[in-house]
Chain A
Amino acid sequence: MSSSISAFIASSSHLGGFTMYAAMFGVTAFVIALALNLYRLIRGSNTEDRILALDTAYINSLALTVLLGIVFNTAVFFEAALVIALLGFLGTVVMAKFLHQGDIVE
């Protein structure tokens, strides 16, 4: 695993020292957050819980994408984050509405 960390550091050598470690911490934290979302997704117990878990996973992914943009020093992932922010909620809304009244488009 140490080799993988050094490779990771190598890929983020453009960063300042604090930022680099913060980014590593951030990435790890968001991945753990994703894993926690998955835990809730599996546990349930209700469909709402699962939808909520997925919704949270979307938000965490957004943050992860932004962080990766910093790590890789590229802005090309900005659009993906933008799209999640703008339209990612629609999936949640539709599922919730489905739970609520079945028909999502009346």
Chain B
Amino acid sequence: MMAFALQHLAILPIAIALLAATLTLVVGERRLAQQRAIAWIAIALLLSCGALAVLRTSSGEMFVYLMSNWRAPFGIALAVDKLTAIMLLLTSFIGAVVMAAQTSSRRPVGTYFYPLFMLQLMGLNGAFLTADLFNLFVFFEVLLAASYGMLLQHPDRARTNAATHYVVINLLGSALFLIAASLLYGVTGTLNMADLSLKINALGPQSRALVAVAGFTLLVVFAIKAALLPLNFWLTGTYRAAALPVAALFALMTKVGVVAIVRTLTLIYPDGSAIHSHMSQALLVIAPLTMLMAACGALSARDVSTLIGWSVVGSAGMLVTAIAIGEPKALSGALFYLIGSTVATALLFLNAASLDQAGARVTSVGEAGGRQWAWTGALFVIGGAAMAGVPPLSGFIGKATILAGSASHSAQVWVWTAVLLAGMLSILAYARMGSRLFWKRDAALVLGACRAWGVESENWPQRGRFLPDLQPHSPAMGQKDGENWIAAVGLQPTIPKSDRLLGASLVPTGVLAIALVCLTIFAAPVQRFTDQAAAELKRPQIMIGNVLGKLPQQKPVVPVPVTGVNK
């Protein structure tokens, strides 16, 4: 069993998701319970695969898998290095949490949720695993198509409009990707990233412009995915419109772009070439600007989803900055930051989903909702702190490591200024949003509480007189006041306690918060792993040797009676 898992480690995360997707389709649309069971089994298996990948790669192994048993670069190769292992585990973890959130949500799943969800995971895993440029395109398409479906769950006007932008932009991105990938093939005659690395290195000077065009175009494509300036504008609208658990899953989306940029800068165009340094220079201008732009966006955000969306943009900017700096320490910090920011994003989105249950996404909840809100508030603080890089949470650790890693770089002053300024603005943004959401007591707060408790909102327009009562009048107004107030004006909650539901919805966010705290406390082993991963990335010849050196299994020779065809 173990031997089997190890032999096929690279394909399992894709195959399991695919199998689960097909099974959920085949059992039929109406049998949601079976679909859910299948999805959970798949998630459990995916988690095991991710954990196994991390464990095995930490001992220095790299798994290369020759798809269809053809030797690279002729067939498609998958490779599990440390970076991939991290991403696999992270993907399945976020997937599990989103599943849990969906399971505990009051809202029923939309049409074809489970198949699309599974295909989404398949696409993500495939994009992280593949070592072939065109196959990367295919998996980009898989994960994008699935994300269209996830975005359009329970379609409404806002989602449709967001999807229009999201889909068109990504289709343009796909066209650019195809141009870049095929151009690289046209110049070098290969598609395997490891082989590309070698062939590009061996090219004469007159082909360099074409290879650079391809490289820059690739960067543009990945920058669209990673939401770098000026290609980031699709993101906040999309995230805002998406169902929040789905948005949590989207936390991984930009990371695909980031990982692809890592591969571009460390494998296809590794250190030492002129193209690499030009790419880095360009990114070092763009990425810090992205961070600053994102911080501005976050500060001006009027609702939680937009705020988180901008934070996602900002974290992508941070990651790409670190990648462009390219120092091992910065890369290691970036990987750490990547883990932390993904988890924090998911936490914030799922937490917002809990808020959303009270209809308070845009305005505020305050404390009138009772104890659950206190927890929601605490979780918001943790997520926001991790996202904004407040110590000691993961965001800070990653950021500090990146800053330390960029200390000797020529762009240090610019990078530091941008990082610190953006960090400052994000802290402000989260403080503003948090204090408005959880502290402010106003009409919307009670409205939210009433919705949370199932109080019919038809009463609202007639009872406009409530609104002035909501202004703070006593300096010592306490927690019970909201409830008292509702009792005083004679609104009886029709659903006695929605605690149970909300409590359940706290589980996934709680798990994420614990993960963040653990990531902080047990930073040492994680950082050792990311250090090694960064070192591995800095030495592309390891990947090249492993991918191109792997031999296919010997097949039994089949006698061919006819060669060719009559005509």
Identify the A interface with B (CB < 8 A): 74-76
B567 lies within 8 A of chain A by Cβ: yes
Closest CB of chain B to A81's CB: distance in Å?
15
Distance between Cα atoms of A58 and B84 in the complex (Å): 49
Residue of B nearest to A73 (CB): B567
Q: Could you list 3 A-B pairs, sorted by A, with CB under 8 Å?
A: A74-B567, A75-B567, A76-B567
Contact residues in A for B567 (Cβ distance below 8 Å): 74-76
Residue of A nearest to B566 (CB): A75
Closest CB of chain A to B220's CB: distance in Å?
35
Closest CB of chain A to B166's CB: distance in Å?
28
Closest CB of chain B to A45's CB: distance in Å?
33
Number of interface residues of B (CB under 8 A): 1
| 3 interchain residue pairs of minimum CB distance | A75-B567, A74-B567, A76-B567
Closest CB of chain B to A78's CB: distance in Å?
10
Closest CB of chain B to A14's CB: distance in Å?
13
Distance between Cα atoms of A74 and B565 in the complex (Å): 12
Closest CB of chain B to A16's CB: distance in Å?
19
Distance between Cα atoms of A7 and B567 in the complex (Å): 24
Distance between Cα atoms of A74 and B567 in the complex (Å): 7
Render B406-441 as a binary contact track against A, CB cut-off 8 A, 1 for contact.
000000000000000000000000000000000000
Contact residues in B for A74 (Cβ distance below 8 Å): 567
Interface contacts (Cβ under 8 Å), in number, total 3
Render B540-567 as a binary contact track against A, CB cut-off 8 A, 1 for contact.
0000000000000000000000000001
Closest CB of chain B to A15's CB: distance in Å?
16
Distance between Cα atoms of A10 and B567 in the complex (Å): 20
Closest CB of chain B to A74's CB: distance in Å?
7
Identify the B interface with A (CB < 8 A): 567
Distance between Cα atoms of A75 and B567 in the complex (Å): 7
Contact residues in B for A75 (Cβ distance below 8 Å): 567
Contact residues in B for A76 (Cβ distance below 8 Å): 567
Residue of B nearest to A76 (CB): B567
Closest CB of chain A to B566's CB: distance in Å?
9
Closest CB of chain A to B564's CB: distance in Å?
13
Closest CB of chain B to A95's CB: distance in Å?
25
Residue of B nearest to A74 (CB): B567
Distance between Cα atoms of A23 and B195 in the complex (Å): 45
Distance between Cα atoms of A73 and B192 in the complex (Å): 36
Distance between Cα atoms of A76 and B567 in the complex (Å): 9
Closest CB of chain B to A4's CB: distance in Å?
24
Closest CB of chain A to B157's CB: distance in Å?
25
Distance between Cα atoms of A36 and B567 in the complex (Å): 35
Residue of A nearest to B567 (CB): A75
Closest CB of chain B to A20's CB: distance in Å?
20
Distance between Cα atoms of A26 and B467 in the complex (Å): 85
Closest CB of chain A to B343's CB: distance in Å?
47
Closest CB of chain A to B116's CB: distance in Å?
25
Closest CB of chain B to A70's CB: distance in Å?
13
Closest CB of chain B to A79's CB: distance in Å?
12
Closest CB of chain B to A23's CB: distance in Å?
18
Closest CB of chain A to B506's CB: distance in Å?
48
Distance between Cα atoms of A76 and B564 in the complex (Å): 14
Distance between Cα atoms of A13 and B567 in the complex (Å): 18
Distance between Cα atoms of A96 and B14 in the complex (Å): 45
Closest CB of chain A to B403's CB: distance in Å?
61
Closest CB of chain B to A2's CB: distance in Å?
31
Closest CB of chain A to B565's CB: distance in Å?
10
Distance between Cα atoms of A75 and B565 in the complex (Å): 11
Distance between Cα atoms of A8 and B567 in the complex (Å): 22
Distance between Cα atoms of A57 and B560 in the complex (Å): 43
Closest CB of chain B to A72's CB: distance in Å?
12
Residue of B nearest to A75 (CB): B567
Closest CB of chain B to A9's CB: distance in Å?
23
Distance between Cα atoms of A24 and B567 in the complex (Å): 23
Closest CB of chain A to B208's CB: distance in Å?
33
Closest CB of chain B to A48's CB: distance in Å?
32
